[in-house]
Chain A
Amino acid sequence: MLYREAGQFKSTYAEDQQIFPIRQDRIAMAALLGFAFVVVPLIANQYWFAAILTPLLIFALAALGLNILTGYAGQLSLGTAAFMAVGAFMAYNFELRVPGMPILVSFALGGLCAAAVGIVFGLPSLRIKGFYLAVATLACQFFVLWALQRFGWFSNHSTSGVITAGRIEILGYTFQSAASKYLLTLGVVCVMALLAKNLMRSETGRAFMAVRDMDVAASVIGIPIMKTKLLAFAISSFYCGVAGALYAFCYLGTVEPEAFNLDLSFRILFMIIIGGVGSILGSFLGAAFITLLPIFLSLLFGAVSHGLQMDISHAVVSNVELIIFGGLIVFFLIVEPHGLARLWQIAKEKLRLWPFPH
């Protein structure tokens, strides 16, 4: 009833090509952004900022990076955490070694270093595909962590190989509180998500999708395969690198290379599988699902066992949480193999017809 585009006429190309062609979508998006930027900082407490929202945004950004590579360009990768590690460690080194380096520039340079590593490890994609490529990117995962642990320069010769992020200062303002770090992360993520959205609607994005759908056909119609694949690796790694820098600077503060292990790569891969492969929105939904659901289950079980005064062993509760979490993943994938983003899309289509579907 409310969600209908009847009466909204587009009279220019610009109107026709905008990201949200339907007015209701634009209003909803503006409201969401307003909520995230203005209302959330007013109502949320430190627990929400430091433990829920900031990591959620950072993981969403990393998932977005992987989604560009896997979802749009069709190249399977298991090196996401390694690219994040490169971003984190290089941003740290730029901050440490170049006096007066602006923090956002460090983030960007960290991202560019990750992009360079991504290009190198993307080279095998020119010859191999699918699972075989995943194995090649697995090498990247192990090599990067090995290098970060082996060469002391990366961690400024810290005996345990750990880096400690410095202060974050932009234009004289120090980002110290959890709320300010959340806003910084939110700002970076919003800008980068917007860029990604536009990139995917551009010629480059269409080339990615052409390569994903059938690379032989793509090369026949004149898309340079090598350039396109390596560009996908570069852009994806850049996003992951920036996410890694945010992870170190805005979230944990002190990071060891082990924090970026294969486990994290898998988690991010699961985020895009659950959220929706080849969808910007899916990256956010998937990140929310994977990071928030276990916390929510843990709170739920805490409240339930507290409320019922039941004496259940905590080990049992912890394991049941994992079982339910796994079960829900299976459930959602059976209900909608294309992820949560697809469910959202179906809901929107239904809503357009509601309440008169015929």
Chain B
Amino acid sequence: MKHGTLALVAGIAVAGFSGSALAQAKEQFIPANFYWVGPYAPGGSGFGGGMIDYFALLNERDGGINGVKLTWEKCETEYNNARGVECYERSKKKGPTGATVIHPLSTGITYSLIEKATADKIPVISMGYGRTDASDGRVFPYIFPLITNYWSQNTAKIKFIGQKEGGMDKLKGKKIANLYHDSAYGKETIAVLDLQAKKYGFEVTHIAVPHPGNEQQAQWLQIRQLKPDWVILRGWGVMNPTALKAAQRAGYPREKMIGVWWSGAEEDVIPAGDSAKGFISAAFNLPGTSFPVMKDVQKHVYGKNKGDLDDKSRIGSIYHTRGIVAGIITTEGIRKAQERFGKGQPVTGEQMRWALENLNIDEKRLKELGAVGLMAPLKVSCMDHEGGAPVKFQQWDGKQWKPISDWIPTDQSIVRPMIEASAAQYAKEKNITPRDCSKEK
């Protein structure tokens, strides 16, 4: 009996660590290292579910990408750095060409993977989170903070406030409170806000909320005394509904509160109940089930009972469509890489890096994909690993998120010099010679 157990254990260990040896061609492996347990599970399971659903859609509807089937394997990271690294190491060699790209879906795990993935030649896509200065592709060849990073988003937010006030010159003398989660993620926008405050003449007060953020009385007392014209909510997880409830108690209008996109999902506002009504948040993807691609997901994936979400009511929620966007970007990258390195062949991480760097998802391509309005067009280059997509703002009406603005472009004249300075400092610390982008082909 004992020997039997031991043999089983050994067998599992071997299977777990070298299972990838039985590789078959015509498959493209993408790790699904997300989180399904813990306080952030709604984000992890929704995003992961969306990405997997999109891969399943391509497999079911089109038979993969030019005949190459997409495969994936889930690994639980628990939003924990050590587990995230373990999942990365476990998944990086699977499939015929190893992991194609990795979506860490955690700023902390992204930091931990920057060096490892660069050494292993596996691109890291940190979509709307992660290390902002990695947008400088000369210093970070394998890191792609795609779509829009935090600093860019913040400039769009100030522009949106300017629009609401009736012009950027009207911002002068206005008071803005920045209520932020006291972590690397929360602090990320302080510098860029200070810079804009100087440029436009408004006054910004930074108010920290200690992790996890379920205690905000002192902060809202401060906001009451300050009487700001706008409150920027840079929250995450439980901090968001708490802030909305506290705002109601403090009598602060929710229509004057603008959240980051990690404050703007259904899971962030529903727990706050009525007090969330009128709250505005930024978004780089929109929710909904009426986009053609979402209809296809329902028909080809959930219709065949192959969907990933257990709770069908979450189809088309913010996190789910964000995952669909992640799926679109990933597979468009694979398609691009195949076009250059051989159609119908699995691509390597190195080829994928080239493809992501030359990715161009324009309005026409979005129409073909059935994703017009779901996301904004995106164009990446060696210099700019972000893509510079604009930001939309949406408002919670008590039942769902309604878009209330056009796609507002970001202000790269503010952001880009900061990114380059920060990346240059990183390059100096790490002894990296930045690439010369004119020589890239």
**Interface on A for B, CB 8 Å cutoff?**
45-48, 50-52, 55, 96, 142, 149, 156, 158-162, 164, 166-167, 176, 251-259, 261, 291, 294-296, 298-300, 302-303, 313-315, 317-319, 321-322
Report 21 cross-chain contacts, Cβ distance below 8 Å, ordered by A residue: A47-B17, A47-B90, A51-B89, A159-B188, A160-B185, A161-B184, A164-B115, A164-B429, A164-B430, A166-B430, A166-B431, A176-B119, A255-B112, A257-B183, A259-B81, A295-B83, A298-B76, A303-B12, A314-B74, A321-B76, A322-B37
Given contacts A149-B182, A162-B184, A166-B430, is CB(A256)–CB(B86) below 8 Å? Answer: no
User: Does residue B13 face the partner (Cβ distance < 8 Å to A)?
Assistant: yes
Chain B, interface size category, equals: 35 or more
Complexed CA–CA distance, A51 and B112 (Å): 12
Residues of A close to B182: CB separation below 8 A: 149
Q: A160-B188, A162-B131 are in contact. Are A295 and B86 (CB under 8 A)?
A: yes
Min CB distance A135 to B, Å, is 17
CB of B348 within 8 Å of the partner chain: no
Chain A residues, Cβ within 8 Å of B132: 159-160
Given contacts A252-B111, A296-B13, A317-B76, 12 further A-B contacts (CB under 8 A): A47-B93, A48-B17, A51-B86, A142-B210, A160-B185, A162-B184, A166-B430, A255-B112, A303-B15, A315-B37, A318-B76, A321-B76
In the complex, what distance in Å separates the CA atom of A303 from the CA atom of B82? 21
> A158 vs B183: C-alpha distance in the bound complex, in angstroms?
13
Contact in complex: A256, B184 (CB < 8 Å): yes
State whether the Cβ of B211 lies closer than 8 Å to any Cβ in chain A. Answer: yes
Chain A contacts for B367, CB-based, 8 A: none
Which residues of chain B have C-beta atoms less than 8 A from A158's C-beta? 422, 425
- Asked if B426 is at the interface of the complex by the 8 Å CB criterion, the answer is yes
Decide if B108 touches A256 in the complex (CB within 8 Å): yes
B168 interface contact, C-beta 8 A: no
Contact of A50 with B188 in the complex, beta carbons under 8 Å: no
Question: B368 CB to closest chain A CB, in angstroms?
Answer: 31
Q: Is the CB–CB distance between B112 and A252 below 8 Å?
A: yes
Please measure, in the bound complex, the distance between the C-alpha atom of A45 and the C-alpha atom of B82, giving whole angstroms: 18
Complexed CA–CA distance, A261 and B302 (Å): 40
CA distance in complex: A142, B108 (Å): 19
Tell me the residues in window 1-29 of chain B with beta carbons closer than 8 Å to chain A beta carbons. 12-13, 15-17
With a 10 A CB-CB cut-off, give which of A46, A149, A302 has the most chain B CB atoms: A302
Over the window 174-189 of chain B, the binary record of Cβ atoms lying under 8 Å from chain A Cβ atoms (1 yes, 0 no) is 0000000011110110
Q: Which residues of A contact B75 (CB under 8 A)?
A: 298
Does B15 contact A160, Cβ atoms closer than 8 Å? no
Q: Are A50 and B37 in contact (CB under 8 A)?
A: no
Residues of chain B within 8 A of A318, CB atoms compared:
35-37, 76, 78
Q: How far is the CB of A17 from chain B (nearest CB, A)?
A: 38
**B108, A259: Cβ atoms closer than 8 Å:** yes
Q: Is the CB of B184 within 8 A of A252?
A: no
* In the complex, chain A residues whose CB is within 8 Å of the CB of B133: 159
**A45: chain B residues within 8 A (beta carbon):** 17
Smallest CB separation, B17 vs chain A (Å): 6
B117-148 contact mask (Cβ, 8 Å, vs A): 1 or 0:
00100000000000111000000000000000
Q: Using Cβ atoms and an 8 Å threshold, which residues of chain B touch A314?
A: 36, 74, 76
Q: Say whether B115 contacts A253, CB under 8 Å.
A: yes
B89 and A299 contact, CB distance less than 8 A: no
A243 to B78, CA, bound (A): 23
Given contacts A156-B429, A160-B131, A318-B36, contact A51 B85 (CB under 8 A): yes
Q: Are A319 and B37 in contact (CB under 8 A)?
A: yes
B187 A55 Cβ-Cβ under 8 A: no
Bound Cα distance from A52 to B310, whole angstroms: 32
When distances are taken between beta carbons in the complex, the residues of chain A under 8 Å from B116 are: 50, 253
Contact B36 A166 (CB under 8 A): no
**Given A256-B111, A321-B76: A166 and B429 interface contact (C-beta under 8 Å):** yes
Contacts of B90 in A (CB 8 A): 47, 51
Contact check, B12 vs A299: say whether CB atoms are below 8 A apart.
yes
Is B82 a contact of A47 with CB atoms below 8 Å? no
Give the one of B13, B37, B76, B78 with max A CB within 10 A: B76
Question: What is the CA–CA distance of A123 and B259 in the complex, to the nearest angstrom?
Answer: 43
Docked complex Cα distance between A313 and B52 (Å): 13
Collect the chain A residues with CB atoms within 8 Å of residue B190's CB.
Answer: 159
A298–B78 CA distance with the chains assembled, in angstroms? 12
Please, which residue of chain A has its CB at the minimum distance from the CB of B306? Answer: A311
A331 to chain B, nearest CB (A): 16
Q: Report B-chain residues with C-beta under 8 Å of the C-beta of A48.
A: 17
Q: B residues 182-211 with Cβ under 8 Å of A?
A: 182-185, 187-188, 190-191, 210-211
